[in-house]
Amino acid sequence: MKRLIAICMAFLCLQACESKRKQTTGYQLYQLENKNGLKLEITNLGGRIVSLQVPDNQGRLEDVVLGHSKLENYLEGEAYFGALIGRFANRIRKGKFFIGDEEYTLPINNGENTLHGGLNGLHNVIWDVVEIEGGQGLMLSYLSKDGEEGFPGNLDIKVIYRLNDNDAVEIEYRAVSDQVTPVNLTNHAFFNLTGAGKDEILGHELFINADYFTPVDKGLIPTGEIKTLDNSPLDFRLMTPIGARIDAEDEQLTYGQGYDHNYCLNRASTGLEVAAKVFEPVSGRLMTVFTTAPGLQFYSGNFLNGSDIGKEDLSYEYRTAFCLETQLYPDSPNQPDFPNAMLNPGEVFQSTTVYQFETVDAREELGAI
């Protein structure tokens, strides 16, 4: 690996630095590069993946994640491009949960619910960053204090990013708390394997290793049911173009305006297992997602509307990206039948996710998935 590069966020533009002078102090960009030329850029602002350069089947590098080149867009936008998400990723119904007999209330920022940790979740904080493993990784640290965004306990969080020579981005999450508190950490990268924001993702072919999902209500809060994917347009157990059934007449697709659902991953162990695969036939890029988490949120970019101006001044339009967010199930603090999301003092929250990239020359090389 080449040595990490830490630079002042000049790419965020002078105007932003002047207008946000107090906030911009200390913002940095870090770059990892492997022996094959893949490049991963991370900022300490929200621990975000800013760019990820991946080759196609002709060896041409392309940035495959959405993001901004101007700081004010990261601070003011609501799309969470590339950000670390927490303390609790996804939604909590009406911003409330109980621990024992005590009720905790969180900021409401998504209809009548709390989304992605609240108004100032981990996506908006400045992380401490150190180089590790001789320049092959970054360790990000943040102490979320007791009461921050309404959550109890001092939560000490560490996230490690690695880019290895097998063309995989590894994200390792760890957290400890001095009080009982819900924890659900993820990364909110928006992917487009043809190139960031350059085309719709409806032709991308998707496989998700799940037999069940958690249906939602109109507010995208789980109903508490764990439902089979048999005979459902949400079924991706066979690799299928994202756009093949996205507009089917189905209540769940109506609620999400497309796909925005948690999949209950098929798991045979507690280690890393395949959660999903995505193939883009024009570039030949194939991304495989491995995780130790029990859930996967598949989001098809339904709320992108052109208002976010990204890198290269591209307008990020409707369904020009997808997300595969590894997670515990949404609203778990209020759902007794879901995997436990409560972290006790003396315990360690641990989760690992890997995004592996490769290329294939033809769809037939993938075989039956």
The reply to whether 68 belongs to the active site is no
18-24: long-range contacts (C-beta < 8 A, 24 or more apart)?
A: 19/72, 20/71, 20/72, 20/75, 23/75, 24/71
Q: Is there a binding annotation on residue 110?
A: no
Cis peptide before 87 (omega within 30 of 0): yes
H-type alpha helices, 33-133:
71-76
- Which amino acid makes up residue 303? F
Question: Considering only CA atoms, which of 205, 203, 199, 206 is closest in space to residue 320?
Answer: 199
Structure tokens at 28: 């940095």
Bridge partners of residue 98, in order along the sequence = 103
- Which amino acid makes up residue 288? T
The reply to whether 123 belongs to the active site is no
Query: Terminal CA-to-CA distance of the chain, rounded, Å?
Result: 33
Q: What are phi and psi of 176, to 5 degrees?
A: -135, 155
Tally Cβ neighbours within 10 Å of residue 35: 10
Q: Is there a binding annotation on residue 90?
A: yes
Q: Is there a binding annotation on residue 260?
A: yes
Which candidate in 188, 204, 205, 280 is catalytic?
188
Which active-site residues does the annotation give?
188, 325
Binding-site residues, please? 90-91, 260
Annotated binding site for beta-D-galactose: 90-91, 260
